[in-house]
């Protein structure tokens, strides 16, 4: 049985007991508890070097919980960089959904291991922790291994608990040396909402810290990658019709009759486009007064545009049938094993995508609200941003992503729109068509579904390396 010994822990940055590197790799430490000296209702408990997933000698890992509020325990799993961890950047990964676990990204996409049909972990040579220290966070509360009272009924409400989690982590000697690194945010799908809002909120909090209005550790995001993101429903709902009419490289996805119905649902008076514009005019993310109006837009557009455009195909990969699901879900059974949960410090059974946080946001119409203004402001600020889309994904298809990229309001808009797409290769294989302009890149990833790194792991790692090195995407 796993030892659940409890030890008191000072929060000073100099505490050698809290240093990640102080524990021998592969040897599990006791479950350690700490309380924040700054953040109310905030505490930390974790396990070091459980030996689960990352098996590279000398590479450390930490998994556990931060209590980000009363009855709110948020799960994280951190992996040290395999290469030059003392100087490598710090990457934050949050999954979409809303309500889907970041263990999806960890085990199916870009983490140190995958899980096979025999319920065994398999070393991933293309893990993103080759190039960066990386932490996976299950948020909002109720997602994955996180548990407690979920108060995040909108993208805006989801940001403060994540900020609180990193305030606690960076306050401790365990993670304090990462707060001054280059900090990257990676996300996907509903991350098209999360990413722009989280970075915007972090920037606002940083300003309050700098002015002395609040205490805390600045969290300065220097680059953001959004994979198959859902950013702006007006633009992306219209792209759903275009993509289903002729998905480039794949052809027409639904019948002419269905296409006509989608077109009517979009453009008729009182239809999807009108409802979306009413949602935007109602205040969008600034006020709850927009919730009812946006909910009406969400339900109508979901039923008559998005769902209709998918038809009987796999929404995440138009090439797959019901018995061809990729990437496989083996990791779910693995994480649900009691012995695995005990090793990593999980306190509740694992749930991949929970309905409670999903419907908390659905019921406020959050899905119908746009993050285009925030995304525009961030790109215009000079933040390094990559929007990349697998071209076989339907629900967040690349034509919609390109439409968002073309409609960003920023200093490089004209240059970006005048830049032709150019193919790039990784070790001789064409992986994507890209548009680079200044600090911003859009990429159509060939032959990939919704979870890009699962389909092209080598190419995704190469692209990730270029983004964190602030390079325009290019062939390698």
CA distances from 96 to 1, 21, 180, 302, 373 (A): 34, 31, 26, 17, 19
User: DSSP secondary structure string, 69-92?
Assistant: ETTEEEEEEEE--SS-TTTS-EEE
Confidence grade of residue 38 (pLDDT, cut at 50, 70, 90): very low
* The one catalytic residue among 67, 366, 391, 393: 393
Domain boundaries, the chain: 1-250+318-476
Angle between helices 272-281 and 291-301 (to 10 degrees): 160
Q: Which 3 state secondary structure label does DSSP give 104?
A: helix
DSSP-H helix ranges across 307-425: 307-310, 330-335, 338-344, 355-362, 372-380, 398-406, 413-417
Rg (CA), the chain: 22
Check whether 8 has a pLDDT greater than 50.
no
Active site residue 189: yes
Closest by CA position to 196, among listed 369, 452, 424: 369
Interacting residues of 28 by C-beta distance below 8 A, sequence separation 6+ = 2, 47, 48, 49, 50, 51, 343
Q: What pLDDT score was predicted for residue 284?
A: 60
Q: What is the mean pLDDT of residues 301-320?
A: 95
pLDDT band at 354 (very low <50, low <70, confident <90, very high): very high
Catalytic residue (choose from 101, 102, 189, 309): 189
For residues 164-182, average pLDDT? 92
Residues 343, 356 contacting (CB under 8 angstroms)? no
Residue 159 has pLDDT above 60, yes or no: yes
Q: What share of the chain is helix, strand, coil (3-state, %, to 5)?
A: 40, 20, 45
- Chain length of the chain: 476
Name which of 157, 158, 205, 197 is nearest 179 in CA terms: 205
Which CATH number among 3.40.605.10, 3.30.420.40, 3.40.190.10, 3.40.50.1820 corresponds to the domain 1-250+318-476? 3.40.50.1820
CA distance 389 to 379: 18
pTM > 0.75: yes or no: yes
């Amino acid at each position: 049985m796993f030892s659940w010994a409890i030890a008191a822990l000072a929060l000073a940055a100099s505490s050698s007991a809290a240093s990640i590197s102080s524990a021998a790799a592969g040897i599990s430490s006791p479950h350690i508890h700490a309380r924040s000296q700054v953040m109310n209702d905030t505490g930390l408990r974790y396990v070091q070097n459980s030996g689960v997933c990352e098996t590279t000698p000398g590479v450390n890992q930490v998994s556990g919980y931060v209590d980000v509020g009363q009855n709110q325990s948020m799960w994280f799993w951190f992996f040290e960089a395999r290469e030059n961890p003392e100087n490598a950047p710090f990457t934050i990964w949050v999954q979409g959904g809303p309500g889907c676990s970041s263990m999806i990204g960890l085990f199916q996409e870009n983490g140190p291991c995958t899980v096979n049909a025999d319920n065994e972990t398999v070393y991933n040579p293309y893990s993103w922790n080759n190039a960066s220290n990386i932490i996976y966070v299950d948020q909002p509360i109720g997602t994955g291994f996180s548990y407690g009272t979920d108060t995040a009924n909108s993208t805006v409400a989801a940001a403060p608990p994540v900020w609180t989690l990193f305030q606690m982590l960076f306050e401790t000697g365990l993670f304090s040396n990462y707060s001054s690194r280059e900090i990257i945010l990676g996300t996907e799908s509903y991350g098209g909402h999360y990413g722009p809002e989280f970075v915007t909120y972090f920037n606002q909090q940083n300003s309050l810290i700098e002015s002395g209005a609040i205490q805390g550790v600045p969290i300065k995001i220097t680059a953001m990658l959004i994979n198959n993101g859902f950013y702006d429903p007006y633009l992306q709902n219209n792209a759903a019709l275009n993509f289903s009419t002729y998905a480039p490289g794949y052809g027409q996805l639904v019948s002419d009759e269905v296409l006509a119905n989608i077109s009517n649902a979009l453009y008729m008076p009182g239809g999807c486009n009108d409802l979306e514009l009413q949602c935007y005019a109602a205040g969008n993310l600034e006020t709850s007064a927009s919730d009812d109006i946006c909910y009406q837009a969400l339900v109508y557009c979901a039923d008559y545009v998005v769902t209709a455009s998918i038809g009987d195909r796999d929404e995440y990969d138009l090439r797959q049938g019901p018995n061809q699901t990729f990437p496989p879900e083996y990791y779910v059974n693995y994480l649900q094993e009691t012995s695995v949960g005990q090793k990593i410090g999980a306190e509740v059974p694992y749930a991949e995508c929970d309905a409670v946080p999903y419907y908390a946001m659905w019921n406020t119409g959050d899905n119908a609200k746009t993050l285009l203004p925030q995304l525009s402001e961030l790109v215009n600020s000079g933040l390094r941003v990559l929007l990349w889309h697998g071209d076989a994904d339907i629900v967040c298809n690349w034509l919609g992503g390109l439409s968002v990229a073309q409609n960003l309001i920023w200093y490089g808009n004209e240059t970006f729109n005048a830049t032709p797409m150019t193919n790039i290769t990784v070790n001789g294989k064409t992986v994507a068509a890209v548009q680079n302009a200044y600090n911003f890149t859009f990429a159509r990833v060939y032959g990939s579904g919704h979870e890009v790194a699962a389909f092209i792991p080598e190419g995704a790692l190469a692209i990730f390396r270029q983004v964190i090195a602030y390079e325009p995407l290019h062939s390698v």
